[in-house]
Amino acid sequence: MRGAVQNIRTIVPPIVAVVVILAAWELTVIATGVSPLLLPRPSVIAATLWQNHTMLLEATVKTAIAALCGFAVAGTLGIIGGSVIAAVPLLRRSIYPLATILQMVPLVAVAPLFVIWLGYGLPTAIAASAVVAVFPVLAATIDGLRSVDPGLKEIFALAGASSWTRWRKLDLPASIPTIMTGLRIAAGLSVIGAIVGEFVSGYGGAYAPLGIVVMTAMREARTDLVFSAVALSAIVGFVLFGVVSIVGWLLVSQWHASAQSEVEISR
């Protein structure tokens, strides 16, 4: 019973906030008479979503695949790269500062390079997604691995465990809460990366992903369709973020304070 009340307390406030914002938006547009070319009403956007649901659903699936693949690549590279960098002091001093600087290069400026290297289409969208999402995972992995309790490392040293064994049985599990924070940030970024990748490398026509739907709709002055595609890309990001958060919670909720404090904060 207490759990149900807790869930209601967690879920209801954001839903109420969304409903209030949409209602205020609808009423403001009606009251001020703003042109639908500038700002369509939420009800119009909803109608557009419904009328174009087949095309938009396909576009959403394509963008979701690009974001998911980019996220998977970023997660894998971030965890493996972070583990190697954390283990080798020379790499930590040389590669890590370089990675920090490189992640400040705007993705929009770099994305055309992926078109040159990988061609138009899905590979470029995946690459753009992975590049923008990899740094938070890399940084979180390095931080997590470097923060492992030295006292626990001594337990493994006493048993004569190899570095590989210690990484599998201590370093990685102990770093999961920190790595999950990096993965949650990467989940949102991977959708942004995929959309930017689609902007520069997209494939039009009936197989267009959300990034191209946005660009095409903008050129055709279909503001309602732009909003529809934006809403769907946000949903893709939200779902990916949510799934990563749930997986993270399942992994650490029993033993780590971060999962418990989230419940405390939401109270």
Partner 1 sequence: MSDKPAVACEELWCTFAGGRQALAGVSFRLPAGGLTAIIGRSGCGKTTLLRIAAGLERPTRGRIRFVGADGSTQAMVRGAVALCFQEPRLLPWRKVVDNVALPLELAGVSRRERVARAEKVIHAAGLDGAQSRLPAQLSGGMRMRVALARALVTEPAVLLLDEPCSSVDEFTRMQLDEEILRVWQTSGATTLLVTHSVSEAVFLADTIVIMRRARVHSIHPVSLAQGSRDRTSREFSLEVEQVMRLLAHAAGVVLQ
Name the site residues for partner 1 (rule: CB under 8 A): 149, 151-152, 154-161, 165, 169-170, 173-174, 176, 252, 254-256
Q: Which is nearer to partner 1, 23 or 246 (CB)?
A: 246
DSSP 207: G
- Which of 132, 129, 126, 141 is CA-nearest to residue 96? 141
* Exposure string over 144-173, b if 16+ CB within 10 A, otherwise e: bbeebeeeeeeebeeeebeeeebbeebbbe
> What does the DSSP 8-state code read for residue 155?
H
Tell me the closest approach of the beta carbon of residue 163 to partner 1, in angstroms: 13
169 contacts: CB under 8 Å, gap ≥ 6: 156, 161
Nearer to partner 1, 30 or 152 (CB): 152
> How far is Cα 186 from Cα 79, in angstroms, rounded to an integer?
12
Shortest Cβ distance from residue 169 to partner 1 (Å)? Answer: 8
Q: Rounded distance, CA 234 to CA 199, Å?
A: 16
What is the identity of the amino acid at 256? H
CB 264 to partner 1: min, Å: 15
Closest CB to partner 1 among 130 and 148?
Answer: 148
- Dihedral pair phi/psi, residue 121, rounded to 5°: 115, -160
Q: CB-wise, 32 or 162, nearer to partner 1?
A: 162
Whether 127 contacts 70, CB under 8 Å? yes
CB-wise, 89 or 106, nearer to partner 1?
Answer: 89
How far apart CA 163 and CA 148 sit, in angstroms, is 14
Task: Please state the closest distance from residue 90 (CB atom) to partner 1, in A.
Answer: 21
32, amino acid identity: T
Closer to partner 1 at the Cβ: 121 or 173?
A: 173
User: Smallest distance, Å, CB 184 to partner 1?
Assistant: 19
Smaller CB separation from partner 1, 46 or 161: 161
Residues 6+ apart with CB under 8 A from 77: 130, 134, 137, 138
Nearest approach, Cβ of residue 173 and partner 1 (Å): 5
